[in-house]
């Protein structure tokens, strides 16, 4: 599939591509449920972004020794282990055109924003940033654990619900500039049922305003947010972009390369071309596992029935 292509179909509005890549959607059924039959059986909705090119081939990300990324390295070398929970911090460069980079994102609600409620923000956060695909595979796998009150529990493996291409873009509207996350699905095939996708608001294509939350701003908010310890610590030049504001555009997308980065998605449109004069083109028809980049990347880590057949699993 790859990152696809974009074609500008009109000169206005003013749109500049900041980042291109692949997008994957997963959901996880609730604890101790073997499968999901409706959104009521869903525990989490995940988004995985894999940037592949953009305005700058070299992006800035958290230091590899910070956050979950660092904890996983530490556990392999006798360090603190994966129990360590802190936000991403520090800085290192990554060439997204030459090196794999994965952002594992958790949506606070069990769906994407509803296209019919364009002023309602949905909160989410970056759970993990890594250059190691095995870290993402492990995050999607089944987890078994024991509790003092309920005994042995089982967190079922995630299910693949969609794959496609995405863009993060800068949209200039008058004197204001904001950023959009736009995507277009390639799977499930258009002629399938799309039952879980419809329930999770994963439309065939979508456009969302994306705003990064200032980790240094505290006080009343409609979203509980992450504990201070888990919030990202951005480099000074990124933190400076907030000024005294509570939110700022995802410009540059490097903000999303820090675990604990919190953001808001606000539905803008389910027709990217009509809204932004930009047509997203995937790299051809795909209707089975043989042409799925999700399957090639993640293997059999997640069930692909919802991805290929558009049915609950």
pLDDT greater than 80 at residue 284:
no
Report the pLDDT value the prediction gives residue 149, as an integer from 0 to 100: 79
Close Cβ partners of 272 (under 8 Å, ≥ 6 residues apart): 182, 184, 205, 206, 207, 278, 279, 280
Report the pLDDT value the prediction gives residue 81, as an integer from 0 to 100: 39
Query: How far is 72 from 87, CA to CA, in rounded Å?
Result: 14
Greater pLDDT, 218 or 121? 121
Q: How far is CA 86 from CA 54, 67, 108, 128, 307, in A?
A: 28, 5, 18, 11, 33
Give me the mean pLDDT over the 187-197 stretch: 92
Cβ 229 vs Cβ 85: under 8 Å:
yes
Report the pLDDT value the prediction gives residue 92, as an integer from 0 to 100: 97
Give me the mean pLDDT over the 125-145 stretch: 94
Query: How far is 167 from 238, CA to CA, in rounded Å?
Result: 21
- Closest C-alpha among 264, 46, 51 to residue 165: 51
pLDDT greater than 50 at residue 288:
yes
pLDDT greater than 90 at residue 75:
no
Query: How far is 249 from 255, CA to CA, in rounded Å?
Result: 9
- End-to-end Cα spacing for the chain: 24
Convert the pLDDT of each residue in 220-275 to its tens digit.
Answer: 677 778 999 999 999 999 999 999 999 999 999 999 999 999 999 999 998 999 99
Q: Which of 52-56, 85-89, 99-103, 205-209 has the lowest mean pLDDT?
A: 85-89
Query: How far is 259 from 174, CA to CA, in rounded Å?
Result: 33
pTM: 0.94
Rounded to the nearest angstrom, the gap between the alpha carbon of residue 2 and the centroid of all alpha carbons in its chain is: 17
Residue count (the chain): 313
- Closest C-alpha among 199, 197, 259 to residue 38: 199
pLDDT greater than 60 at residue 82:
no
Query: How far is 115 from 206, CA to CA, in rounded Å?
Result: 8
Return the HEC string of the chain.
CCCCEEEECCCCCEEEEEEEEEEEEEEEECCCCCCCCCHHHEEEEEEEEEEEEECCCEEEECCCCCHHHHHHHHHHCCCCCCCCCCCCCCCEEEECCCCCCEEEEEECCCCCCCCCCCCCEEEEEEEEEECCHHHHHHHHCCEEEEECCCEEEEECCCEEEEEEEEEEEEEEECCEEEEEEEEEEEECCCCCCCHHHHHCCCCCEEEEEEEEECCCCCCCCCCCCCCHHHCCCCCHHHHHHHCCCCEEECCCHHHHHCCCCEEEEEEEECCHHHHHCEEEECCCCCCCHHHCHHHHHHCCCCECHHHHHCCCC
pLDDT greater than 80 at residue 29:
yes
Convert the pLDDT of each residue in 195-204 to its tens digit.
Answer: 999 999 999 9
Report the pLDDT value the prediction gives residue 1, as an integer from 0 to 100: 66
Q: Is 41 exposed, middle or buried (0-12, 13-18, 19+ CB in 10 A)?
A: middle
Six-digit token string for 152: 């042995």
Give me the mean pLDDT over the 100-117 stretch: 94
Give me the mean pLDDT over the 86-111 stretch: 96
Q: Which of 10-19, 180-189, 260-269, 299-308 has the lowest mean pLDDT?
A: 10-19
């Amino acid at each position: 599939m790859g990152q696809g292509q974009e074609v500008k179909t009109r000169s206005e509005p003013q749109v500049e591509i900041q980042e291109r890549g692949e997008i994957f959607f997963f959901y996880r059924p609730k604890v101790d449920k073997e499968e999901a039959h409706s959104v009521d059986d869903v525990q989490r909705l995940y988004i995985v972004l894999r940037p592949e090119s953009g305005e700058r081939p070299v992006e800035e990300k958290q230091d590899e020794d910070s956050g979950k990324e660092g904890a996983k390295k530490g556990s392999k070398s006798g360090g603190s282990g994966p129990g360590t929970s802190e936000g991403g911090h520090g800085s290192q460069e990554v060439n997204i055109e030459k090196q794999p980079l994965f952002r594992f994102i958790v949506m606070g609600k069990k769906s994407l924003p509803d296209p019919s409620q364009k002023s309602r923000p949905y909160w989410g956060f970056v759970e993990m940033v890594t250059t190691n695909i095995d870290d993402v595979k492990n995050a999607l796998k089944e987890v078994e654990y024991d509790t003092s009150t309920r005994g042995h529990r089982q967190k079922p493996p995630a299910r693949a619900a969609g794959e496609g291409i995405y863009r993060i873009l800068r949209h200039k509207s008058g004197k204001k500039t904001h950023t959009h996350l736009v995507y277009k699905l390639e799977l499930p095939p258009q002629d399938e049922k799309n039952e879980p996708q419809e329930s999770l608001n994963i439309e065939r294509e979508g456009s969302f305003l994306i705003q990064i939350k200032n980790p240094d701003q505290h006080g009343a908010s409609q979203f509980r947010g992450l504990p201070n310890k888990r919030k990202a610590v951005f480099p000074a030049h990124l933190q400076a972009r907030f000024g005294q504001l509570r939110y700022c555009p995802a410009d540059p997308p490097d903000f999303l390369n820090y675990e604990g980065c919190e953001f808001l998605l606000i539905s803008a449109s389910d027709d990217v071309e009509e809204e932004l004069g930009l047509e997203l083109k995937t790299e051809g028809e795909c209707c089975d596992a043989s042409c799925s980049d999700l399957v090639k990347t993640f293997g059999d880590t997640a069930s692909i029935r919802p991805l290929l057949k558009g049915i609950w699993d």
